Structure 1
Amino acid sequence: MNDPLSAEPDLIKDLLTKPIPKNLWHYTSYKAFQGIVESKQIFATDLRYLNDSQEFVHAKELAQELADEVVDSSAAGVVVNGMLKKAVDLAFNTGPLRADRLQVMVASFSNARDQLSQWRGYSGASSGVSISFDLSKIRPPLGVETAVVFAPCVYELSEKKALLQRALSHMVGVVAEWVQDVQEAIQSDPQLLNKIKNPTEHGSPYVNGLDLNARLRQAMTKVNFDLVRLCPLLKDSSFSEEREWRLVLPISAGKQLQNPIKFRPTSNTLVPYIPYPLCGPDEPAPVNDLILGPGSHAEAEAATFSFLQSKHIMVKPQTSKVPYRAS
């Protein structure tokens, strides 16, 4: 069976293979900066503990809304009615995106080099650092069938809807193709319609690839795979200033991990995370630029430069140009 979407632009693939910028920034504290450089690892944190309370909820609501819209415009008509709603419900409520079946770990970076809101939000008000990394090797190679992705977040509503519609259209396309195949088969064999309506009386009617359930299972696998990769990248537009890129690491429940999940304390909970390697064990951390927060100590540039040199990183830090200092 041919993929009904094979001739259309693959918006999801285009997003997940966008060229990685030379500089992507990570705002953090001096303590965390030291740990990243020395361990050559970044913490990928459970998505449910991030500062956006609508993580995944936003994507689910959009998918539910689109299920109605796609059904209304579907050429498959009555056959498709309700099927996408069921597919979205299966994916998010009982399927692979349910919280107790999938844990999504995220490491965040930004296209913003020296941004006030990032200093305030992620680096101790103004006394942390903005680390730029060369992350050209962090994405899984093309052709590797994995749910791990490294891509920019999407904030624009129309783009988010187009991406989700592409994912859900696997289902619509399969049903529409099935309806067409059945109509053509019935024209050749008028008795086929009665066989389909009464399978127990006539035996298996699903000849010539007309088994809808088998096609739906195959389509649902594609829908789930796309949603697992896509949904962690869909952010509310109020976060657009962050210009975030995400390393997304989905973990199925019960999966044995090479790097086991660890926990770090905050003021009100323990946060699950995975230390994720930024480079090989014999390479220096891929730091290619460094901005010190506007509230840094007067001698921070000298001390930080010496520290980087001791780790074989030839980068000269600069102090932020943002005229801000926390009181």
Structure 2
Amino acid sequence: MSSNPDDAPAPPPATAGEGAVSRQEFDALFSAVRTWGRWADADRGAWNRVTPEQVRRAAALVRSGTLVPMARPWDTAPGPDNNKPALHYMSDLGDVEPPEPATHKDFIAVDYHGKAVSHLDALSHIAYRGQLYEGRAAQECIDAGGARFGAVSALGPLVTRGVLLDLPTVFGVPWLEPGRAVHAADLVAAEQALGVTIGEGDAVLLRSGSLRRRQERGAWNTGAASAGLHVDAMPLLAERGIALLGGDGDSDVRPSPVDGLHSPVHALAVAAMGVPLLDNLDLEALSAASASTGRYEFLLLVAPLNIPGATGSPVSPVAVL
């Protein structure tokens, strides 16, 4: 890690078409990282990697007890990166001669899969070539009543070791520009610069600095252009045996490097590897806290809502330092 941008490693290339991958190459990659048939509790996927012993090791990382929340605020304002604004209105103002004590109630609702809400993608969220994780036929497992395989209710809470790969810090830039692809070599460089090594059962969080860019430059259509992982980074994460992948975007670089696939990292992580995804996190406070302590590993707590049949859940992950 370098505080001097002149001494920092070169950032990844910024050309949108760089690193193009054919569908044939992608299908070979999908087969190579696939973990189908590995766990009896299949709709928990890679969360099966987190054992009680790993939870204890994660708990041992706590030093100061500082809590760092990572959820973005509930966003009710439409924008170029929020075409499905969340709803929030008051349903009881306590102003109709109520008995004491008066009550105040509100209603919230959201179509959370998108670019604005911090959320978890369960294994039922993504199908590739008509198949969910484990090769389950999506049309047989999911209907208007919800998902009968890979629902978020099957996951439960997760406590594990979190690793922050803070790429702007590594490369000495304020943020990665939209469209920048993060390759396997960049992940290895980040490990070396930040003094961490991704291991079995870890949750890997990728910071691109997108929220800082949004604060300074304004919102943009992140579905069209965003920094994120290139598909060539996924074999490394598969080899390391991660349990969870997330970031301040949705993990995919956009535009996609794979012809005809809008979210290839989603397909590899969720449908092939059984790794749930955390999308749209706010990693700015965690970046600052990690920089101040010089530690990029921490205890991570993720507790999705217990919604039977749901393909994911809004979530408010917490890092404990």
TM-based fold match above 0.5: no
Instruction: Kindly name which structure, 1 or 2, has the bigger radius of gyration based on alpha carbons.
Output: 1
TM-score (structure 2 length as normaliser): 0.28
Q: Which has the higher helix share?
A: 1
TM-score, structure 1 normalization: 0.28
